[in-house]
Structure 1
Amino acid sequence: MKICFLTGPQNSKRCGITDYVNLLRVVLENYGHDVSNICLSGSKTFKKVITNLPEADIFSFQFAPYAFSPNGMLGVDLINLGKVLRKNKTHLNFHEVWIGAYKGASLYEKFMGWRQKREILEFVKVLNPSVITSTNSAALDRLQKEGINATYLYLFGNIPFIETDVSTNSDIFKVAFFGTLYDKFPYDLLGKRLCEIYAIYGSKIEFRIIGLQRESLGFKKLRKVASCYNFSIAETGELSSTKVAKEINDCKIGVSTTPYDAIGKSGASAAMLEHGLPILAFDDEDTPKDQLFVINEFIGQIFLINDPFESNKLLHFISQERKPFFDGVAYTAKNMVRMVS
């Protein structure tokens, strides 16, 4: 099968949609598929594709509003692309949808979200995709409320399996933070939950900031919690994927500051889960509970800090042998081929 991906511009400085496609491409080519990727980086590239669309059995458009435009709006270029693509078999994968559809959104976010939603809904109507998918519960809920029949497609991590030993050191309880530290995450509540763990486990708690982490309000809040509860904190700086894998294996638990309903769009959270690490997360209640889910492979591996917290259950999970590595890239490649075939 000849598969053509359409993404935003390549950005080698951060883990993004093009990195996701590059990893997926390798596995799909190993399965015998002919795979290409077109990076759309502005109006000129949109017009070039519109006037000279390559041949393919399936076009897979990897969509996130801000991947293509600083304000999340593409205008006529998006609609014109939809008109050309609709003559072909298409797969539309939403990594993100419109902003502002959550409690506490500012007036600006609500206004821009309203504009983005109008554009996205028009694009879906024009494109008439063969298959529509999304990577997370929040986006699926928003799409389904607008009458768009979308299904789930897992977004994998970008840290491959490396043969390293899982730490058995019981003197330090290492907590992994890998990925963006979001400002709105309840860091104070996290501190309280970790104190509950400390009261049972008895080992010194150390925050491990894995990878390059930019200065942010979330980072400042995390430092404050570490200071308040006398937790140590260590930053690794930028690391190779091999060293990231080793860091993850050296930790007891991980923390995802991405809201639970959107955790599916976080490649960093996926990487920790794929390496068998239990994850602490937070449900901001923006999405109805009956719409929340994780794939079967990760059931019982994510612990919500705002639920009646079960420290003993988490520690029992940690005491067991680490789960084997889950190959998320192969899992997604197989599911995508099944959906679009």
Structure 2
Amino acid sequence: MKILFICGSLEPGRDGVGDYTRRLAGELIQQGYEIALLALHDFSANEIVQEFQQSEGSKITVVRIPNKMESKIRYAKAKQFVTDFNPEWISLQYVPFSFQEKGLPFGLAGHLAQISQGRKWHIMFHELWVGMDKESSFKHKIWGNLQQYIAREVIKKTAARKIHTQSRFYQFQLEKIGCKALYLPLFGNIEVIKSEVLAKAKDTLSFIIFGTIHPNAPVKEFISELSKYGQNANLKVELNFIGRCGSELDHWQAVCKDQNIDFNILGEQDAATISKVLQNADWGISTTPWRQIEKSGTVAAMLEHGLDVICVARPWTPNGKIPSVNLNGISEYKENQLASMLNIFKSNNSKVGLKKIADSFIEALDYK
């Protein structure tokens, strides 16, 4: 089977969906499938790039078309690549902001239908639309309605035969617009690399925050409770920040200093170092809102490295009534409940992994 994956950008380490697509492609090549990758709006390319990239021990054919290229040339090049590679399936890895900087890729659906020349489409919805929460502004709700319209057009004009999403909440949202999507959980964006795991100090409780820190989380309340817990349990508490954490890192540092919590800023590191740090931590922390946390590759990586994860995030209340979801290995922080959470919540068995997810992906495409 030949599969062409289409996403926005494919600069290694600079685009989460691109990194996800590359890892999935590498695994599928290992399993004997013919795979190629096409970046339609690459933010890191200044000209059309044809190259090989590496992942999971595989060499992957990649074409990257810059985001600033004229539309006519962009889709002519894309159509030629589809013709030359001649895939049976085209898999669109969809994030609205990957294909237009404001997340409004009008015309994308029609262009995709034209370049496919009747081939079978699969869509993976990594993100849907803004404005799904009660806290959203009126502007974001209007913005989200436009994005929802575009998503519907993409589904309709590609006549997608199989659709996946990695979030049960997104699955429910797609169902409301008449789209039956299958659930395909994320694998981590960092491979578990076996390394020396240091003996953990019995008097230290180590937490790790990996990647982007989102704003408006209850940082003061959480760190204050963490400090009290350490004092009561006679434990030294430390926070480790790794990856590109963003501007919110300053806020977390200030609160840690105020509460006398030790912290380390590790910055960007290679995959082997990140894997080692994750393996040597006790707990993971995520600031992605609870209802969106299944779409976080860093959370998936922490789970695959054996960490349970505490969600410390801003309020994000979905519109309308939605079904409850049990997210194994992840617990939502609630004020004055941290101590009981740390004492009883160590039950992570959410290690799905890349190979199983690749198998599920192929099974869905092969299903008649």
Same fold at TM > 0.5: yes
Paired residue for 2:121?
Answer: 90
Paired residue for 1:194?
Answer: 226
Paired residue for 2:29?
Answer: 29
Q: Which of the pair is proportionally richer in strand?
A: 2
- What SS does the corresponding residue of 1:147 show, helix, strand or coil? coil
Identity of aligned residues (%): 26
8 Å CA contact retained: 2:227, 2:261: no
- What SS does the corresponding residue of 1:221 show, helix, strand or coil? helix
- What SS does the corresponding residue of 2:160 show, helix, strand or coil? coil
Matched, 1:232 2:257: no
- What SS does the corresponding residue of 2:287 show, helix, strand or coil? coil
8 Å CA contact retained: 2:225, 2:338: no
Displacement of 1:308? 7.6
| Worse-superposed segment, 24-33 or 68-77 | 68-77
- What SS does the corresponding residue of 2:82 show, helix, strand or coil? coil
Q: Determine which structure has greater relative contact order: mean sequence separation of CA pairs < 8 Å that are 6+ residues apart, divided by chain length.
A: 1
Cα deviation digits, residues 264-312 of structure 1 (max 9, x gap): 2111111111001111014745345624343xxxx2x212112883634
CA distance in 2, matches of 1:116, 1:27: 32
Instruction: Pick one of 205, 227, 235 that aligns with 1:203.
Output: 235
CA distance in 2, matches of 1:229, 1:6: 47
Structure 2 CA distance for partners of 1:112 and 1:314, relative to 1, 3 Å: same
Displacement of 1:109? 1.8
Instruction: Pick one of 148, 156, 159 that aligns with 2:187.
Output: 156
CA distance in 2, matches of 1:9, 1:116: 19
Structure 2 CA distance for partners of 1:224 and 1:141, relative to 1, 3 Å: farther
Unmatched tracts of structure 1, length 5 or more: none
Structure 2 CA distance for partners of 1:310 and 1:174, relative to 1, 3 Å: closer
Instruction: Pick one of 290, 295, 305 that aligns with 1:265.
Output: 295
Paired residue for 2:249?
Answer: 219
TM-score normalised per structure 2? 0.82
Instruction: Pick one of 317, 341, 346 that aligns with 1:286.
Output: 317
5 Å-filtered alignment, 1:5-84, equals: 5-41=5-41, 42=67, 43=71, 44-50=73-79, 53-54=82-83, 55-82=86-113, 84=115
Structure 1 segments (4+ residues) deviating >4 Å: none
Displacement of 1:339? 0.8
Matched, 1:314 2:342: yes
Displacement of 1:61? 0.5
CA distance in 1, matches of 2:140, 2:249: 23
| Worse-superposed segment, 106-115 or 174-183 | 106-115
Structure 2 CA distance for partners of 1:87 and 1:200, relative to 1, 3 Å: farther
Paired residue for 2:210?
Answer: 178
- What SS does the corresponding residue of 1:170 show, helix, strand or coil? coil
Displacement of 1:137? 3.0
Paired residue for 2:59?
Answer: none
8 Å CA contact retained: 1:86, 1:129: no
